[in-house]
Each structure stands twice: as C-alpha cells, then as structure tokens.
C-alpha cells in the first residue's frame, strides 16, 4: 500500500465531510450541510482544490449515500440513481468531484467505504466477511468478502429489505418506496414518527426500544443467513447514541435463528454483532480508505 496524502469526501444525507488524511490519521476536515447537489458538490470541490494546491495529494476517495451507479462501463457511472433526497436524482457526483485532478479518484457508497475502513483499521480487521450497517438519516449497509467490496448489478441495498413484524405493530413505515422496509422502520426520521416525538426525548428505558431492537435483529438474522458474515458492525447516529440496543438485539437474533447457525449462539453473538470499532470515524475514514484504493490501483 502506497503512503501519502489522501483526500476523502463523505456525502451523507444530512452533512458532507471533506477530509485530508494519511493512512488512518485525519489531518484536517471541513464539514457543511448537504443541500443541493450544485452547492454541496461545489463546496466539496473547492476544498479539494485548496488541499490539492497545498499538499502532494495522491488520490481522492468519494463516499456517498446511494443508490449510485457503480458500473464503470455504464454511461452514468458515478451518478446518483433515483433517491428520495430532493434534487439528487441523476446528480453527477464523480464527474463533478473527480475530474481534472492530477491524481486518480474512486467512488463508492458511504457504507461500503465505512466497511472498508473497519476492515483496515477497525473492528473488522482479520475478518473474512464483514457487513457494516449504518442507522441514521437512513439505513444502509456495505459488505466485504475477503477484503474486497461487493458489487454486482449495483451495490448492497440493505436498508430496503423488508423484515418480519408482529401483527401487533401497525406502524406503516416512512419509506416512500416500500413503506415498512427496515429504513422506513428504524431510521432517525422513521423513529421520530414511530415515537410521535423527537428521538432525543425518548428515554433509554422506554419499552418501545425493544420493538426497534427486534426489527434490527430481523435484519441481522437475514444477513447472517444470506451473506455468511463473520462480523456485523453498526454505526450511524441512531445506534451510536443508543448503544444499549446492541445487547437487546443480541437476544432477539439468537432467538430468531433458533440454533440453526452453529457459530451463532448466546455465548458467541457479542463477538459477531457489535458497534463499529471506529465509531464516528468510520465514515470519514471510509472516504480515505477509498482514496487508498485509488492510489494503489490508479
């Protein structure tokens, strides 16, 4: 792996962070709200230009919320696909941020990037198969297999999986595409509607959190069965501010799987499902990790 300065741009649904880093050390960062594509990408590009002028930058990594077109052979490679984020459908992210620099650029989803950072520097080191799940403004997930990011027709869209729900739970969900997919059930905006109040006003002891943990556990059970993940890591503002949810979903995952997976049980679940080791740094370091990929394989 080559060394040197990297620039990472992490574009989230609420905020954008531009970082200058060397390996897992972030030297400087600038944060601003994610507004329109023109304003947001323009501010990010201007900051990249400042650092590119001041430092011998070797690569740029762009980690964005999705869905994204990640097929290099597609004419809309690097574009945002249809998204509920107003104004961002068909935004040319890679073309706006990544062109005309004397160094290579790479783009991927913010969650794939965070999974890569966790594999290199966090709680996923040495693991063969990692899923990284973020629960914040939305719900997303990235997957690595043998250290490589998983892509196919698109990229994993874990947030739009629909999970089993008890008949007693009538909350319709908030996703404009699917209603009660997991994003429509447990993202920050969904929880505000589910609880009929700001999340900050809901105490940790509120029994409704158990319903939330059960829903997240259903997602974890699906991923363990379909991806054979050896570690599932959680990040994002919702879960990092309510870390007690991890222990709650452990109980539900073990019960839901019913002993079917021999490596998943009450004595092992805490070593498989946990908070991201990098915590809040997983996102910004993810964009730096993507820049590493661009520097190593220009």
- Nearest-angstrom CA–CA distance, 10 and 29: 11
Domain boundaries defined on the chain: 5-109+281-296, 123-277
Structure token digits, residue 250: 């452990």
**pLDDT tens figures, 13-66:** 889 999 999 989 999 999 999 999 999 999 999 999 999 999 999 999 999 998
Q: Is the pLDDT of residue 2 over 60?
A: no
- What is the Cα gyration radius of the chain? 19
Across the chain, what does the average pLDDT equal? Answer: 94
- For tokens 């050896």, what's the residue? 230
pTM: 0.93
Q: Please, what is the end-to-end C-alpha distance for the chain in angstroms?
A: 12
Cβ contacts of residue 105 below 8 Å, gap of 6+?
A: 59, 60, 61, 62, 94, 97, 98, 99, 294
Compute the distance between CA of residue 163 and CA of residue 216 in angstroms, rounded to an integer.
9
How does residue 298 score in pLDDT terms, banded at 50, 70 and 90?
Answer: low
Among 159, 153, 103, CA closest to 136: 159
Q: Do domains 5-109+281-296 and 123-277 have the same CATH topology?
A: yes
3-state secondary structure the chain: CCCCEEEEEEECCCEEEEEEEECCEEEEEEEEECCCHHHHHHHHHHHHHHHHHHCCEEEEEEEECCCECCCCCCCCCCEECCCCCCCCCCCEHHHHHCCCCCCCEEEEEHHHHHHHHHHHHCCCCCCCEEEEEEECCCEEEEEEECCEECCCCCCCCHHHCECCCCCCCCCCCCECCCECEHHHHHCHHHHHHHHCCCHHHCCCCCCHHHHHHHHHHHHHHHHHHHHCCCEEEEECHHHHHCCHHHHHHHHHHHHHHCCCCCCCCCCCHHHHEEECCCHHHHHHHHHHHHHHHHHHCC
d(CA 224, CA 273): 10
> Tens digit of pLDDT for each residue in 218-231?
999 999 999 999 99
pLDDT digits (tens, 9 = 90+) for 109-158: 999 999 999 999 999 999 999 999 999 989 999 999 988 998 877 788 89
Give me the helix-helix angle, 244-257 and 208-227, nearest 10°.
60
Residues 53/34, Cβ–Cβ less than 8 Å: no
Structural tokens at position 5: 């300065």
Do residues 91 and 78 make contact, with C-beta atoms less than 8 angstroms apart?
Answer: no
Residues 12, 16, 17, 18: what is their CA dihedral angle, to the nearest 10 degrees? Answer: 120
What does the pLDDT read at residue 23?
Answer: 87
pLDDT at position 183, please? 96
Structure tokens that stand for 269 in this block: 């679940």
Q: Report the alpha-carbon distance of residue 185 to residue 183 in Å, rounded.
A: 5
Residue 97, pLDDT score: 96
Contact (CB, 8 A) for 195 and 143: no
Superfamily of domain 5-109+281-296: ATPase, nucleotide binding domain (3.30.420.40)
Q: Domain 123-277 class?
A: alpha beta
Percent of the chain clearing pLDDT 70 (strictly above): 98
User: Is 94 in contact with 64 (CB distance < 8 Å)?
Assistant: no
* The residue to which tokens 């097929």 are assigned: 71
């Amino acid at each position: 792996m080559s060394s040197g300065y990297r620039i990472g741009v992490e574009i989230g649904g609420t905020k954008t962070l531009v970082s200058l880093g060397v390996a897992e050390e972030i030297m400087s960062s600038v944060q601003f709200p994610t507004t329109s594509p023109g304003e947001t990408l323009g501010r990010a590009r201007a900051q990249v230009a400042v650092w590119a002028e001041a430092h011998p930058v070797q690569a740029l990594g762009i980690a964005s919320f999705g869905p994204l077109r990640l097929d290099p052979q597609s004419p809309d490679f690097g574009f945002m696909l249809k998204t509920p984020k107003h104004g961002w459908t068909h935004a040319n992210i890679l073309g706006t941020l990544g062109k005309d620099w004397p160094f290579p650029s790479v783009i991927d989803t913010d969650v794939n990037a965070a999974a890569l950072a966790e594999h290199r520097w966090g709680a996923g080191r040495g693991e063969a198969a990692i899923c990284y799940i973020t629960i914040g403004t939305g719900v997303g997930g990235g997957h690595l297999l043998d250290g490589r990011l998983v892509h196919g027709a698109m990229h994993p869209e874990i947030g739009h999986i629909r999970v089993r729900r008890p008949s007693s739970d009538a909350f319709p969900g908030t996703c404009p595409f699917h209603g009660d997919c997991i994003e429509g059930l447990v993202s920050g905006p969904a929880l505000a509607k589910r609880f009929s109040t700001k999340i900050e006003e809901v105490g940790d002891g509120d029994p409704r959190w158990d319903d939330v943990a059960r829903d997240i556990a259903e997602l974890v059970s699906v991923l363990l069965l379909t991806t054979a993940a050896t570690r599932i890591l959680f990040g994002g503002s919702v879960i990092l501010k309510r870390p007690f949810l991890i222990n709650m979903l452990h109980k539900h995952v073990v019960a839901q799987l019913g002993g079917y997976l021999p490596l998943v049980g009450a004595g092992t679940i805490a070593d498989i499902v946990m908070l991201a080791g990098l915590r809040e740094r997983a996102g910004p370091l993810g964009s730096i990790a993507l820049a590493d990929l661009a520097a190593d394989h220009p």
